[in-house]
Structure 1
Amino acid sequence: MALTVVWLRDDLRLADNPALHAAAERGEVVVCYVLDEVSEGIRPLGGASRWWLHHSLTALGASLKERGMELILRSGPAQAVVPRVAAECEADAVFWNRRYGLAERTQDAALKASLGDGGYAVRSFQANLLFEPWEVTTGSGTPYKVFSPFWRACRNRPAPRAPLGVPGSLNGPVTESEDLASWRLLPYAPDWAAGLRETWDPGEHAAQSRLQHFLAETIDGYARARELPDTEGTSRLSPHLRFGEISPFQVWQLAGADSGTAAAGDLTVFMQELGWREFCWQLLYHQPDLATANYRPEFNAFPWQQPVEEELDAWRYGRTGFPLIDAGMRQLWHTGWMHNRVRMAAGSFLIKNMMVDWRVGEQWFWDTLVDADPANNPANWQWVAGSGADAAPYFRIFNPVTQSKKFDADGGYLRRWIPELRSAGNVHEPWKEGVSGYPAPLLDLKASRDQALSAYQDLRQA
């Protein structure tokens, strides 16, 4: 009987997994995940993502075991490990779902060639993006640089395919597997993940439950509620999508099926969030160094200031003296997640008030976010900096006081994450009353804003 090795990557699910589905249709299956932390160009996971990966693999392994299957775990360079697994199992095919970073594509192409030369049938599948990055281009065949026309072009294409179900039957031989605990993905000495454990439930079942809860309880009013950090107004699907515990096709179908009950405006905004994810991946596909190089090269001349470590730590750990920034950074440290409105404010503060290179913030978020995505994270940081595609105008500087007054008027979010302010009268501007135990403002908002605007203006005129 035909036997296929399914090499999983950022697609840790059984439902709507095209590679797994096709493999099950042709015969026996061996499901393998390779922890590759040594291949050149592939970005190592940050600490919070490693925590999520451990639990996601645990959940996937349990789901496979319920079906009489084992999840095979191996570590090392995938270029060597995948062929070794195929040979051990006496497989005749290797299937996987596509990746879109340059290093990953290069690795996949090399493996496809070498495995093909070795007599294996090799197939790759579209699984984690609604639209392939090379399919959505301008009339002249170039990549889109602005989101709105990109998303219009996507919507004018044939509708995304319907998601696939879980294969009806899965069976195959068992081969040697490494012990997940030996990978030491979980933090130790110290164990800083208590907040992650109390906030998240990784895995495919949890992803499906979260989506269904969102569509049943949260989608109504989403267009406004998603802006309010003290409200459960967002889907919180981002880490599940990042690790492929749920596919965008599943989200698209279920959200579309909900169109009869949810307000059209709320659904449109939610679908646009999926579209922004697609846009970011298109950017990464066409600019592989998105996390390290300015998308707009003119920003190479921007006068970033060398950060003072004490001031940088004040931002990292929520001690800037500006409640919205501090609440967001403390939420991030505790839960591995931050509300998107606050992410924009925290990013703007680092870049445009502290004048720190956006790459410093991108790296911190990469290490601390459970949804640290290779495309979304750098694209969003560059959007805030003004150096990216479809970027925020250079003069858009998020005032943390104005933002908290507008989107957290009663201060519930601020007080939740900053215990020092729970009895403060003026929670948005505590320095006006002098709150004991809470730091004074790190900088002058107006003076730092003027400095940033001057630097941006100089750059535009250069």
Structure 2
Amino acid sequence: MVKPSIVWFRDDLRLADNPALRAALDRDEPVIGLYVLDDESDGVRPLGGAARWWLHGSLASLGERLRERGSVLVLRRGRAAEIVPALVDEVGAGAVFWNRRYGGAERDIDTAVKSRLRDDGITAESFGGSLLHEPWTVRTGGDTPYAVFTPFWRAVQKLPAPRAPLPEPREVPGPGRHPRSDDLDDWRLLPTRPDWAGGLRDTWEPGEPAARARLREFLRDDLGDYDRSRDEPSGEATSRLSPRLRWGEVSPFQVWHEAVEHRGSGAHAESASRFLSELGWREFSWHTLFHFPELATKNWRGEFDTFPWPRLRPSHLRAWQQGRTGVALVDAGMRELWHTGYMHNRVRMVTASFLSKNLLIDWRRGEQWFWDTLVDADGASNPFNWQWIAGSGADAAPYFRVFNPQRQLERFDPHLEYVRRWAPEHAGDEPPEPIVDLADTRRQALDAYDSVKRAAS
């Protein structure tokens, strides 16, 4: 009796270098792809608007690619712990494979599904497809998780090299009879009233083919200038692979090995090493989430629970969200974010510092806004980076480090190319006035941080 295998896709929407898919193909049985839109299970964070837009496009691409190779992508919505076993019963599957997730709620779901399937005699296996090294494999000499990036990255570099990527399958044999699937359009992942995604459509093409093309383009054209130009928001030196990695349209193993192949020598090698360390920073954020699942809601440093956030001024929060703060680099970045679902990393740091340290607004409100508006927002990097800027996270920026947005502008956008594109009124003869005094608010931030330091001591 033919017993198909189910590949449960999640944040790995690709065919190449997909260990779960490879395991299913190795059984020499029909393969059914499954994606579950689970916004009902306890602890699972609902996707933001920009992420939902990207997911629609990436699922459409994955479904088409599976059809071209002979299989099918089944879409179901609801609690994954109920839907996966139900589909197993429906199609008489003999095995279910997936690539691991690392958030607390997601791990609980996966553990429950694996236990239930195995109790029923179904093969259920998970694989490492999203991180170069599993979080439990990188530990300090005292057998604790790393809390600082530099020694973490040093330890990672002493480990065996990441495995080679798996090839893309030419064929994926499907079942003789396709199971029922939701219509992707019925999930209403795309905005309609209003349709605010025009800038996203102009900027991005979700899906594995576009991800692979972008990786090749970056390595060919931009890697050599990465170390020198990556902090300039007006340039194209950054990889713009973050949403591709977030949705797993390309794996970190593919990025790692192809970057190493392009490394060369001299300045080119330095740029490649810097780029690979950014993959390391992504790893560090996921390892931190694995060991601290409440990263998006609680201070990693407990002493910051006493931070004296003042009463929220909604007008200040709205001005920040809309790019109407009167601060050129902040306004340009927030408008780039709204239009494209993306923001240059240097500008992300400046806008986050301005919110949490000049406006003294709780970092969690900024993290939530980025979660809703970034196409690359994931459960680890987004809160990890916000806590890093706020000073409450692992390897956090020192509490006394308050980014001066004017100095950052002078250093990284001296000719106002970025500002002219996104906030042109700041390049005119009468630029708008900032909604707060940068020097005064910096002093207020330092006073607040000093109170935390005193409380901790």
User: TM-score with structure 2 length normalisation?
Assistant: 0.97
Match of 1:341 in 2: 346
* Superposition deviation, residue 357 in structure 1: 0.5
Q: 1:192 maps to which residue?
A: 196
What's the counterpart of residue 430 of structure 1? Answer: none
Find the aligned partners of 2:394 and 2:72 in 1 and give their Cα distance: 43
- What is the CA–CA distance in structure 1 between the aligned matches of 2:424 and 2:72, rounded to whole Å? 46
Q: Hey, what's the Cα distance between the residues in 2 that align with 1:265 and 1:23?
A: 39
> What aligned pairs does 1:258-277 form with structure 2 within 5 A after superposition?
258-260=262-264, 263-277=268-282
Identity of paired residues, percent? 58
SS of residue in 2 equivalent to 1:34: strand
Give, in whole Å, the separation in 2 of the partners of 1:363 and 1:313.
13
What amino acid sits opposite 1:356 in the alignment? Answer: I
How far apart are 1:419 and its partner, in Å?
Answer: 3.1
1:253 match: 257
Aligned to 2:167: 165
Counterpart residue type for residue 229 of structure 1: P
Query: Structure 1 residue 440: deviation in Å?
Result: 2.2
1:2 offset after TM fit, Å? Answer: 4.1
**Match for residue 136 of structure 2?**
134
Q: How much is the aligned-residue C-alpha RMSD, in angstroms? A: 1.0
Q: CA deviation at 1:376?
A: 0.3
Deviations 1:21-57 (A, max 9, x none): 1101102111110101100001110000000000000
The one of 208, 219, 223 aligned to 2:223:
219
One-letter amino acid matched to 1:127: G
Matched, 1:391 2:391: no
Cross-structure match for 2:447: 454
2:326 partner letter: G
**Corresponding letter in the other structure for 1:13:** R
| CA shift for structure 1 position 395 | 1.0
Equivalence for 1:156: 158
Equivalent residue letter for 1:453: L
Corresponding letter in the other structure for 1:246: V
For residues 203 and 167 of structure 1, the distance between their equivalents in structure 2, rounded to whole angstroms, comes to 16
Whether the 8 Å contact between 1:74 and 1:81 is mirrored in structure 2 is: yes
Structure-2 residue corresponding to 1:55? 57
CA distance in 1, matches of 2:263, 2:193: 48
- Structure 1 moving runs of 4+ over 4 Å: none
Structure 2 SS opposite 1:260: coil
The 3-state SS of whatever aligns with 1:33 is strand
Letter aligned with residue 4 of structure 2: L
- Indicate if the aligned counterparts of 2:200 and 2:341 stay in contact, CA closer than 8 A: yes
* 1: CA distance, partners of 2:298 / 2:251: 29
Which letter maps to 1:374? G
**Equivalent residue for 1:43?**
45
Query: What SS class does the counterpart of residue 221 from structure 1 fall into?
Result: helix
Question: Distance between the aligned counterparts of 2:123 and 2:77, measured in 1?
Answer: 23
Unaligned runs of 5+ in 1: 426-433
What's the TM-score, normalizing by structure 1?
0.96
User: Residues of 2 paired with 1:387 and 1:188: CA distance?
Assistant: 38
Question: Corresponding residue for 2:26?
Answer: 25
Q: Please tell me whether residue 76 in structure 1 is matched to residue 84 in structure 2.
A: no
Query: How far, CA to CA, are the matches of 2:82 and 2:452 in structure 1?
Result: 47
Alpha-carbon contact 2:69-2:170 (below 8 Å) kept? no
Structure 2 unaligned segments of length 5 or more: list them: none
Which amino acid counterpart does residue 408 of structure 2 have in structure 1?
Q
**Residue 415 of structure 2 aligns with which residue?**
410
SS of the equivalent of 2:75 reads strand
State the distance in 2 between where 1:293 and 1:333 align. 26
Residue deviations 1:328-367 (CA, integer Å, cap 9, x gap):
0000000000000000000000000001110000000000
1:62-102 deviations in Å (ceiling 9; x for gaps): 11111122211111101110011111111111111100011
Cross-structure match for 1:351? 356
Per-residue deviation at 1:121?
0.6
Contact 2:233 / 2:412 at 8 angstroms: preserved in 1? yes
Q: Does the 8 Å CA contact 2:56/2:190 hold for their aligned counterparts? A: yes
CA distance in 2, matches of 1:461, 1:247: 44
1:237 to 232, 241, 244: 241
Taking the aligned partners of 1:336 and 1:450, their CA distance within structure 2 comes to 32
